[in-house]
Structure 1
Amino acid sequence: MHILIVDDESLARSRLRRLVLDCDASHRVSEAEHAAGALALLQAPGGPAVELLLLDIRMPGMDGMVLARQLQALPTPPALVFVTAHAEHALGAFELDALDYLTKPVRLQRLQQALAKVQRSAALPAPARVSAVADDGPALLVHERGRTERVPLAEVLYLRAELKYVTVRAWARSHIVDEPLSELEARHAQHFVRVHRNTLVARHALRALVRHEGEEGEGWAVRLHGVPDPLPVSRRQVAAVREALAG
């Protein structure tokens, strides 16, 4: 990948560059010492395509959060991973569709996990292209309004049990299936991970486990690609979610 490191501290940029190349020496690494310089590089006509930004948050001038919002206006924005000493910005970072959030000092193993996540994400169909997913993969059969529809598992983001039915949240829209969540979990265990007694989430959509203030007080929640609101995680499932994210 072509990776752009954006940090106002030269020592931090040098250390992160070494770690990136320790992960894979074939990565191409560029640097910018401030957000404005990074944006100019990304917008330069005919410039090299950057596939990933490793972005600090607190910098003089435009900070990393502002830059991240501006990236969303680019025709082909790079993937985004925040690298910062300030963990309190994590929730806001994932609202900007960051794939990961690393705290300084960055550990090699943790960076390897983040880069692997970026590469997996690049291999997934984007929401705008999801209708082109091949029909020969695993799918759920949904019976609605007198017809049967095939919903590829590659399009499914989560399953949630509500009363006697299960809601299937997919990219395009939601569906209702009359089948117990436990049976769906047993049949498609390789595709989903349980995060709550009433919720299974797609492993391919997992982006982050974050602290979250919910109706029952502070707890944990997962961020999913393509889902604006975090989904609650029960305490007993936190370890399983961490394992799924690391995998």
Structure 2
Amino acid sequence: MSGLRILVIDDERPALDELTYLLERDPRVAGVLGCDSATEALRVLQDLEVDAVFLDIQMPGLTGLDLAQVLSRFKSPPPIVFVTAHEEHAVSAFELAAVDYVLKPVRAERLAEAVRRVVDAGTPAPSGDAQIAVERGGVTRFVQRSDITHVEAQGDYARLHTAEGSHLVRTPLSTLAEEWAPAGFVRIHRSLLVSLPHIEEVRTESGRVSVVVAGQELSVSRRHTRELRDLLTRRSG
């Protein structure tokens, strides 16, 4: 793989220089270009194609979120990593399909993880699916796991929800959470799993986060909000 070309945007020169320095030390990075405003970055992107954009959020004029909205309309949007001192914009960043959300002050190890996620963003997810055996009225049938929108704990059982209905399986939610994590299922509550590809919206109100899956709003517990955020950032587009 050839090295990454990265565009860094931050209106504070010390932060811009530090981030540029750290990225240039990463062996996976071939070159870094810095801009001190989103407007300047747009001018650069008219003539230059980059592999990723690392940007601050709170900037004068066009903010980082504004710029991300513009970039999302590009024919081939570059992966975006937000680098900011403010955590309250995280949900908005996830809705824009950011690859990562790094908090300042930036540590070299954390930045290396963000670069890894940029590389992974260009790697297709496994396409294999699984068939889940369910019983109803003495008849065993098979449900595609990719059709399951969310899973609800019911004692030692779990209820699988699809667009067509629900099915009870004799497997604890904790077991499914572990086995189905590679397939994109994430725990949002001690009694709920959701399928990341089926999340239609992420909502936040008064500090509380919820997701909309198959038209149904499901609350995310505070304990699981960070895990959900981390997994959502790995989604590409």
TM bracket (short chain): 0.5 to 0.7
Q: Secondary structure at the match of 2:168?
A: coil
CA distance in 1 between partners of 2:210 and 2:164 (Å): 21
Q: RMSD over aligned Cα, in angstroms?
A: 4.2
Q: Secondary structure at the match of 2:33?
A: strand
- Structure 1: state its 5+ residue gaps: 126-132, 169-173
Partner of 1:24: 27
1:60 paired with 2:66, answer no
User: What is the aligned-residue identity percentage?
Assistant: 31
Question: Is the 1:160–1:181 Cα contact (8 Å) retained in structure 2?
Answer: no
Deviation, structure 1 residue 34: 1.2
**Aligned with 2:11 (options 8, 18, 30):** 8
Deviation, structure 1 residue 232: 0.5
1:48-95: CA deviation from partner (whole Å, max 9, x where unpaired): 3x1211111222332212111111111011111111223332222222
1:197 paired with 2:197, answer no
Deviation, structure 1 residue 121: 2.6
Q: Partner letter of residue 179 of structure 1?
A: L
Question: Is the 1:142–1:176 Cα contact (8 Å) retained in structure 2?
Answer: no
Q: Partner letter of residue 91 of structure 2?
A: L
1:36 paired with 2:78, answer no
CA distance in 2 between partners of 1:67 and 1:239 (Å): 24
1:138-160: CA deviation from partner (whole Å, max 9, x where unpaired): 413488xxx856455xx87x523
- Structure 2: state its 5+ residue gaps: 135-140
Q: Secondary structure at the match of 2:124?
A: coil
Q: Secondary structure at the match of 1:189?
A: helix
Deviation, structure 1 residue 162: 8.2
C-alpha spacing 1:142/1:55, structure 2 compared with 1 (3 Å) = farther
Q: Given the two structures, how large is their TM-score scaled by the length of structure 1? A: 0.66
Q: Secondary structure at the match of 2:80?
A: strand
Partner of 1:233: 221
| Count of residue pairs the alignment pairs up | 214
Deviation, structure 1 residue 122: 2.1
